[in-house]
Chain A
Amino acid sequence: MSMINYASREINCKIVYYGPGLGGKTTNLEYVYEKVAPSTRGKLISLATESERTLFFDFLPVDLGTIRGFKTRFHLYTVPGQVYYNASRKLILKGVDGVVFVADSHPARLDANSESMDNLYHNLAEHDFDLRELPFVIQFNKRDLPDALSVANMNAALNPTAVPAFEAVATRGVGVFDTLKAISKQVIKSLS
């Protein structure tokens, strides 16, 4: 439900980073914030606990500038991954235009990944929204872990419909912009 404001000639698209706790969602936004030109992005807002776990959301606006007369902007959000914050997650999904699922490659997090994927599916379905019809990409994060699960295993567990998937090491920025480029292009295509 992106808002197209023909009067102020603005298009704002909402992209939500979803996934299990500690998977690296906030790290993705922090990297984007650090790397894009300051004129391109706004403030990074993080509503987090003292131990830096996301409590409500992170928010980062990224400005593409004016294209064919329309000021085009992406609003990047993360949700809190911890299971008991589901009420907050539902709120953040409101009006979403595209989803990035950040999966944790640690073998011990495989169940947490699957649960979070189910949770995403259900939270969207509760609002008559179908994940299969939404711009959607997956990021396999923490590829630097020595015992990281194979991509084949992760695809088998998390990606039955073979949506675009990207390997990443968010702490070093590897794959962060590939992921962002892929989801933003899908969202733009869905609007035109």
Chain B
Amino acid sequence: MLGALSWSFQEADSDRVDSLLEALLADSGADRALLIDRTGQLIAAADAAATTDATAFASLAAADFAANEQLAGLVGARDFSSLYHQGSRQSLYLAGVAGRAILALVFGRAVTLGMVRIKVRRALPPLEALFQEVFTRPQDRGDDRLTAGWANEVEVEIDRLFDGV
């Protein structure tokens, strides 16, 4: 949701997500699994052969998912939760995770949609549990790794990058 506090992903969260995505890939035979924040940012990716631009992919997938959710709402489909694009070689399946993220699977012709659905349905509960934890735990505001010193250095870098152009 807009206006929510920043949230943070810790080392341990990331390890859990990575192993869940790896397991999903192995289990489903898909080529690529990505976890994307609803605002369009990539959270994690697992892939057999990473060829696509993950940053672009994440932003487009989030927009696509959001637009389709609204479309579904317009025609009264209140339980919109997943989206499927069929391609001639590769297909794409997107599923919402805990209202905060999107799980995207890219898969080839050898894998059926039915299989993907089943495997995703099984992968969702542990992912959703993890997101519940991330969003309900107290914010790590005391964590001073993002200090004023960091901000100053970023500002210097902003000047360096944008001044000379």
Q: Which residues of A contact B (CB under 8 A)?
A: 1-8, 11-12, 14, 35-37, 40, 42-43, 45, 47, 56-57, 59, 61, 64-65, 67-70, 72, 75, 87-88, 91-96, 124, 127-129, 177, 180-181, 184-185, 188-189, 191-192
Find B40's partner among A14, A42, A70, A88 (CB 8 Å cutoff).
Answer: A14
Residues in B neighbouring A188, C-beta threshold 8 A: 151, 154-155, 158
How many A-B pairs have beta carbons closer than 8 Å: the answer is: 148
- Contact assessment for B11 and A94 in the assembled complex, using a CB-CB cutoff below 8 Å: no
Residues in B neighbouring A96, C-beta threshold 8 A: 2
- Contact assessment for B157 and A45 in the assembled complex, using a CB-CB cutoff below 8 Å: no
Q: For the complex formed, measure the closest distance between the CB of A64 and the CB atoms of chain B, giving whole angstroms.
A: 5
Given A4-B8, A5-B14, A94-B39, A42:B56 Cβ within 8 A: yes
- Contact assessment for A42 and B55 in the assembled complex, using a CB-CB cutoff below 8 Å: yes
Residues in A neighbouring B163, C-beta threshold 8 A: 177, 181
Find A43's partner among B39, B53, B165 (CB 8 Å cutoff).
Answer: B53
Q: How many residues of B contact A (CB 8 A)?
A: 50
Interface centre among B70, B150, B158 (most CB of A within 10 A): B158
Residues in B neighbouring A91, C-beta threshold 8 A: 63, 66-67, 70
Residues in A neighbouring B37, C-beta threshold 8 A: 3, 95
Cα distance, A37 to B55, chains bound together (Å) = 18
- Contact assessment for A128 and B2 in the assembled complex, using a CB-CB cutoff below 8 Å: yes
19 A-B pairs, CB-CB below 8 angstroms? A2-B6, A3-B6, A3-B41, A4-B7, A5-B8, A5-B43, A7-B10, A7-B12, A11-B146, A56-B67, A59-B60, A64-B158, A67-B153, A91-B70, A94-B66, A181-B158, A181-B159, A185-B158, A191-B6
